Amino acid sequence: MTDESQHTPATSDLRQAALAARAASREVAIVPREYKDQVLLGVAESVEAAAPVLMMFNTQDVARAKEAGLPEAKIARLRLTPESISQCVAGLRQIAAMDDPVGKVVEERTVPSGLNVQRVRSPLGVILMIYEARPLVTLDAFGLCFKAGNACILKGGREASQTNIAISKFIHAVLEGCGHNKDACVVLPSLEREQTRELLGMADCIDLAIPRGGAELVKFVREHAKMPTVQHAQGVCHIYVHEDADLEMALRVCVTAKTSAPATCNAAECVLVHAKVAGELVPRLCEAYREAGVQVRAEARALALTPYAEPAGDDDFGREFLDLVVALKLVEGMDDAIAHVHRYGSDHTEAILTTNPAAADWFARHVQSSCVVINASTRFNDGFQLGLGAEIGISTSRVHAYGPMGLEELTTRRWVVRGEGQTR
């Protein structure tokens, strides 16, 4: 297996793989729900049963990554645990339990010419996912793409290649065992940068490219993809505490939205406090942050209200810290807060804390981020939390999908028109 994981496919192999995925996508698109669920449950079962085998291959990947000096944070993402595997298996079973979006008639009407016009939810075709060395993304992505009727090409980080190959063998065995084309899931464990670029040029075989990873990866995909891409930029999420907010709620929400998972994209990065309540809130908030181990970087007026903050630098606003660091600023009111978000936000998630529903609505109308949260944490912008089930990432581009991408966001709508010989 070692040789296989180190082997870089030749260009013609890459082209063959993409063509095979395109051909398989025609088959996956029309598989009835029960057969798709059978595959998902079969993969869940075999991964569950063979978790120790998977862990063994993963141990080899981890050992090699350590030798190569991969930072500990990345090794943590690469490493499988019995818990992470069983969570992923539960996710596959959850996807199997979800409604099939494919074939749903989402609009229907009879138009003046007498035609019956339907709009039908349909697969996208072939989806290319490019991600870092997080092997369970391979299972998640396959599960969502397949249930939505798509073939997928999965290109994970090369540090996870042994684990990804092992996962792909489970998927292929179940696909073939159930009588499907195994190219419904093409796994490319190891590609040179130049080859990834080639793959991104194959717009005739691939309908959508989804990068999932750091800013550099997203930029690389955007620059080289000839097919549409869904983009996840940074999550520079703000919480605005309005003058009439419940300050106890504000303390709870502002602290947990930063501390519960500081490295996630929906964690709060900046708190804006209405000047009228700053005298009361800022000292207590900064003390609470200090107790939680959060460093506060405050602009001058906020800094004057607390000993527990440092002066904010020029680039601390509009910054995704992804760490136990938060920016803090006083604002004169709603307009000032909205202007700050328009200038520094990344269209990901913004929250307002207020007891005035009209103020909340005003904020939600003017701030057009993928998710505006009223009186709750920014961290609720998440597929599971919003009721979508599993998600494949959060889009900060308004086109196609804006916010968490679940099953429905991996489909499109097309027209089916029935007539009786109408000409035009």
Q: Which stretch binds a copy of itself (CB under 8 A): 71-79, 86-94, 279-287, 359-367?
A: 359-367
Number of Cβ within 10 Å of residue 266's Cβ equals 23
Residue 180: DSSP 8-state: -
The strand pairing partners of 175, in sequence order, are none
Minimum distance from residue 144 beta carbon to a copy of itself (Å): 16
Under the binding rule (CB under 8 A), the answer on residue 293 touching a copy of itself is no
Provide, rounded to whole angstroms, the least separation between the CB of residue 409 and a copy of itself.
10
**Per-residue binder mask for a copy of itself (CB under 8 A), 158-197, x = binder:** ----------------------------------------
Whether the Cβ atoms of residue 82 and residue 133 lie closer than 8 Å to each other: no
Binding track, positions 124-163, relative to a copy of itself; x by CB under 8 A: xx--------------------------------------
Q: DSSP per residue over 225-236, as a string?
A: -SS-B-------
By CB under 8 A, how many residues form the interface with a copy of itself?
A: 69
Residues 6+ apart with CB under 8 A from 256: 377, 379
Q: Does 32 bind a copy of itself (CB under 8 A)?
A: no
How many other CB atoms sit within 10 Å of the CB of residue 348?
25
Piece in contact with a copy of itself (CB under 8 A), picked from 131-139, 140-148, 254-262, 297-305: 254-262
- Scanning 159-167, 191-199, 220-228, 305-313 for contacts with a copy of itself by CB under 8 A, the matching segment is 220-228
Phi, psi of 255, rounded to the nearest 5 degrees = -75, -50
Member of 132, 140, 207, 316 binding a copy of itself (CB under 8 A): 207
- For a copy of itself, the closer CB: 46 or 181: 181
State the Cα–Cα distance between residues 339 and 366, nearest whole angstrom. Answer: 10
- For the chain, the distance separating the N- and C-terminal CA atoms, rounded to the nearest angstrom, is 60
3-state SS assignment for residue 199: helix
Stretch that binds a copy of itself, among 45-53, 187-195, 307-315, 363-371 (CB under 8 A): 363-371
What is d(CA 324, CA 260) in angstroms, rounded to the nearest whole number? 10
For 278, the enclosing helix (H) or strand (E) is helix 275-291
Query: In what side-by-side order are the strands of the sheet with 237-241?
Result: 310-311, 295-298, 325-331, 268-274, 237-241, 349-353
Choose between 37 and 408: whose C-beta lies nearer to a copy of itself. 408
Give yes or no for a contact between 195 and 71, defined as CB atoms under 8 angstroms apart.
no
Binding residue for a copy of itself (CB under 8 A) from 177, 260, 311, 323?
Answer: 260
The three-state secondary structure class of 208 is strand
Q: Which is nearer to a copy of itself, 122 or 164 (CB)?
A: 122
Answer for which of 241, 372, 392, 407 binds a copy of itself (CB under 8 A) is 372
84 binds a copy of itself (CB under 8 A): no
Site for a copy of itself in 45-74 (CB under 8 A): none
CA distances, 41 to each of 35, 88, 164 (Å): 10, 12, 19
371 binds a copy of itself (CB under 8 A): yes
- DSSP β-ladder status, 105-110 and 116-123: antiparallel
Give the DSSP H/E element, type plus range, for residue 296.
strand 295-298
Query: Given the complex with a copy of itself, which of 190 and 381 has the nearer CB atom?
Result: 381
Tell whether residue 377 is a contact of a copy of itself (CB under 8 A). yes
CB of 246 to a copy of itself, least distance (A): 7
Instruction: Report residue 280: phi and psi, to 5°.
Output: -85, -40
Q: Does 256 bind a copy of itself (CB under 8 A)?
A: yes
Antiparallel, parallel or unpaired: β 310-311 and 349-353: unpaired
Residues 6 or more apart in contact with residue 353 via CB below 8 angstroms: 239, 240, 241, 242, 245, 246, 249, 250, 253, 375
Site for a copy of itself contains 117 (CB under 8 A): yes
The answer to whether residue 356 forms part of the interface with a copy of itself (CB under 8 A) is no
The candidate with the shortest Cα–Cα distance to 328, out of 298, 303, 305, 287, is 298
Q: How far is the CB of 217 from a copy of itself (least distance, A)?
A: 16
The answer to whether the beta carbons of residues 154 and 187 sit under 8 Å apart is yes
Smallest distance from the beta carbon of 378 to a copy of itself, in angstroms? 9
41 versus 249: smaller Cβ distance to a copy of itself = 249
Q: According to CB under 8 A, which residues from 95 to 114 bind a copy of itself?
A: 103, 109, 111, 113
345 binds a copy of itself (CB under 8 A): no
Which residue ranges make up the site for a copy of itself (CB under 8 A)?
26, 29-30, 103, 109, 111, 113, 115, 117, 122-125, 207-208, 222-223, 226, 228-231, 246, 249, 252-253, 256-257, 260, 342, 360, 364-366, 368-377, 379-381, 385-387, 397-400, 402-403, 412-424
